[in-house]
Structure 1
Amino acid sequence: MNTVRMILCGNVEDSRMNPSEKVGVVSVVFVSTEEEKIKNKLKKLQDKNPEKFYMEYVTPLDVDLTSLEHYPSIEISKNDLQ
């Protein structure tokens, strides 16, 4: 089965619409089909930006992710935004 690997990054930023508010932002920052590339990039990102939360996610290609039991997501609570 063909799979793709992604690195997602979650962090808290000032809102662009209202700079006095905080927002949680989740971004896909790197994609590869090669596990070793993902592992190396994930370590570099975590070492360079320890204040951000990174996670690796592996999924099959050509699949509606919302049909899976779990798909790429990062939970950000209101406390994280304060």
Structure 2
Amino acid sequence: MDTLFLILCGSVEESKEEPHDNVGVVSVVYVSKDKEKIDSKLEDLQKTHPDNFYMAYEVPMDTDLTTLEHYPGLEISKEDLN
């Protein structure tokens, strides 16, 4: 089975709209089929941007991820946004 590896980034940013409240942003920042590249990139990102939260996920190709017990996602609480 083909596997895809992704790195997600969670961060808190100031909204560009009034009022300028903080908003949680989750982004896919890197994708590869090579686990070693993912591990290396994850380490680089964590060192370069320590205020962001990064996590790596391994997902099967051609799969409805919502049918899995757990699929890529980050939880950002209201406290994180303050």
Classify 1:36/1:75 alpha carbon distance in 2 versus 1 (closer, same or farther; 3 Å). Answer: same
Which runs of 4 or more aligned residues in structure 1 lie more than 6 Å from their structure 2 counterparts after TM superposition? none
CA apart distance, 1:15: 1.1
Paired with 2:34 and 2:25, the residues of 1 have a C-alpha distance of: 26
Paired with 1:63 and 1:22, the residues of 2 have a C-alpha distance of: 34
CA apart distance, 1:20: 1.7
Over the aligned positions, Cα root-mean-square deviation in angstroms equals 0.9
Taking only the aligned residue pairs, the percentage that are identical comes to 57
Q: Counterpart in 2 of 1:55? A: 55
TM-score by length of 2: 0.96
Mark the runs of 5 or more structure 1 residues left unpaired by the alignment. none
Classify 1:41/1:19 alpha carbon distance in 2 versus 1 (closer, same or farther; 3 Å). Answer: farther
TM-score by length of 1: 0.96
CA apart distance, 1:16: 2.3
Q: Counterpart in 2 of 1:7? A: 7
